[in-house]
Amino acid sequence: MVKKNTSEESIEENAEEISGDGYVEIKMGGGWYMTISLAHSERFEKEYVELAKERGGVKKARFNLNPTHVRMLGEALIKFADDNGL
């Protein structure tokens, strides 16, 4: 298996803040983007973070996350990447 050396600079190049605070697009390749956005539910009157996989402006998969768990998810992803040499 070939191990990629992904530096913080290349991650910052792929993560572009497109429409201001509360929205980030990460280019994944093949026309796919992972979007992270802050949204508001009018029905429940609460904010949430939406993680979505998009292609051509159409969301193919999405996951809604309570904002209080965002930092915990980020730290868990970093630990997972470190533990598995990603």
Q: How many domains does the chain have?
A: 1
Quote the strand ranges of 1-86, DSSP E.
15-16, 23-29, 32-41, 46-55, 58-65
The answer to whether residue 58 is domain-embedded is: yes
Residue 2 lies in a domain: no
Q: Is residue 1 part of a domain?
A: no
pLDDT number for residue 7? 47
pTM: 0.66
- Rounded distance between C-alpha atoms, residue 80 and residue 74, angstroms: 10
Indicate whether 16 belongs to any domain. Answer: yes
pLDDT at 17: 43
Q: Tell me the CATH number at 69.
A: 2.30.31
Q: Is residue 51 part of a domain?
A: yes
Q: Which domain holds residue 21?
A: 8-83
The answer to whether residue 3 sits within a structural domain is no
Residues of the chain falling short of pLDDT 50: 1-4, 6-12, 17
**CB 64, CB 49: distance < 8 Å:** yes
The confidence score (pLDDT) of residue 82 equals 95
Instruction: Please report whether residue 24 resides in a domain.
Output: yes
* Predicted local confidence at residue 20, as pLDDT: 57
